[in-house]
Structure 1
Amino acid sequence: METTEENKNKGRRIRAYVALSLVVVALVIFGWQWYKSYTTFITTDDAYVDADKVAVSPKVLGRIAAIYAAEGDSVTKGELLVELDSTDLVAQKQQSVAARNQASAASSQAVAKYNFDLASIKVQEVALEKAKEDLDRAKLQFDNKVLTKEQYDHAKKTYESSQAQLDAAKAQVNVSKSMIESAESTIRTAGAQVNTVQTQLRNTRIYAPSSGRIAKRWQLPGDVAQPGQPVFTITKDSALYITSFFEETKIAYLHIGKKVEFAVDAFPGVTFTGEVSYIASNTASQFSLIPPNNASGNFTKVTQRIPIRISILDWDKKDKYPHLKLVAGMSAFLKIRKD
Structure 2
Amino acid sequence: MADTTTTVSGKGEKRKIIFLIIFIIVAIVVAVLWWLDYRKYIRTDDANLDSFRVSVSAPVAGQVTRLYAMEGDTVKQGDTLFILDDSACMVMAPVDGVVGKRWVLPGDRIEAGQTAFTLNRGTDIWVAVYLEETKFKEIYLGQKAQFTLDAYDKLTFEGRVYYIGDNTASEFALVSPNNASGNFTKVTQRIPLKISIDRVEGDDGQKARVKLVSGMSATVKIEKE
Distance (Å, rounded) in 2 between the aligned partners of 1:9 and 1:301: 58
Letter in 2 for 1:251: F
1:36 Cα offset (Å): 1.1
- Do the aligned partners of residues 27 and 221 (structure 1) sit closer, same or farther apart at CA in structure 2, a change above 3 Å counting? same
Tell me the equivalent position of 1:338: 224
- Do the aligned partners of residues 14 and 213 (structure 1) sit closer, same or farther apart at CA in structure 2, a change above 3 Å counting? farther
1:12 Cα offset (Å): 3.5
Q: How does 1:98-137 map to 2 (within 5 A)?
A: none
Q: Could you tell me whether the CA contact under 8 Å between 2:63 and 2:108 is conserved in 1?
A: yes
Q: Could you tell me whether the CA contact under 8 Å between 1:274 and 1:310 is conserved in 2?
A: yes
Tell me the equivalent position of 2:29: 29
Q: How does 1:265-284 map to 2 (within 5 A)?
A: 265-284=150-169
Letter in 1 for 2:157: F
**Structure number, greater radius of gyration:** 1
- Do the aligned partners of residues 2 and 337 (structure 1) sit closer, same or farther apart at CA in structure 2, a change above 3 Å counting? same
Q: Could you tell me whether the CA contact under 8 Å between 2:154 and 2:202 is conserved in 1?
A: no
- Do the aligned partners of residues 8 and 259 (structure 1) sit closer, same or farther apart at CA in structure 2, a change above 3 Å counting? same
Say whether 1:327 aligns with 2:220: no
Q: Could you tell me whether the CA contact under 8 Å between 1:242 and 1:312 is conserved in 2?
A: yes
Distance (Å, rounded) in 2 between the aligned partners of 1:252 and 1:40: 14
Tell me the equivalent position of 2:139: 254
Q: Could you tell me whether the CA contact under 8 Å between 1:74 and 1:214 is conserved in 2?
A: yes
- Length, aligned pairs only: 224
Distance (Å, rounded) in 1 between the aligned partners of 2:116 and 2:22: 61
Distance (Å, rounded) in 2 between the aligned partners of 1:212 and 1:15: 65
Say which of 103, 106, 110 aligns to 1:225.
110
Tell me the equivalent position of 2:122: 237
Could you list the per-position Cα deviations for residues 84-119 of structure 1 after superposition, in whole angstroms to 9, with x for gaps in the alignment?
2237xxxxxxxxxxxxxxxxxxxxxxxxxxxxxxxx
1:289 Cα offset (Å): 2.4
Say which of 73, 77, 100 aligns to 1:215.
100
Distance (Å, rounded) in 1 between the aligned partners of 2:39 and 2:172: 32
Q: Could you tell me whether the CA contact under 8 Å between 2:62 and 2:84 is conserved in 1?
A: yes
Distance (Å, rounded) in 2 between the aligned partners of 1:63 and 1:8: 89
1:291 Cα offset (Å): 2.5
Q: Please report the TM-score for the alignment, with normalisation by the length of structure 1.
A: 0.60
Q: Classify the secondary structure of the residue corresponding to 2:194.
A: strand
Q: Could you tell me whether the CA contact under 8 Å between 2:129 and 2:193 is conserved in 1?
A: yes
1:57 Cα offset (Å): 1.8
Of Structure 1 and Structure 2, which has the larger fraction of its residues in helix?
1
- Do the aligned partners of residues 5 and 254 (structure 1) sit closer, same or farther apart at CA in structure 2, a change above 3 Å counting? same
- Percent identity over paired residues: 41
Q: Which runs of 5+ in 1 are unaligned?
A: 88-200
Tell me the equivalent position of 1:16: 16
Distance (Å, rounded) in 2 between the aligned partners of 1:330 and 1:257: 23
1:3 Cα offset (Å): 4.9
Distance (Å, rounded) in 2 between the aligned partners of 1:22 and 1:317: 32
Q: Relative CO higher for 1 or 2, CA cutoff 8 Å, sep ≥ 6?
A: 1
Q: Please report the TM-score for the alignment, with normalisation by the length of structure 2.
A: 0.88
- Do the aligned partners of residues 295 and 206 (structure 1) sit closer, same or farther apart at CA in structure 2, a change above 3 Å counting? closer
1:15 Cα offset (Å): 3.3
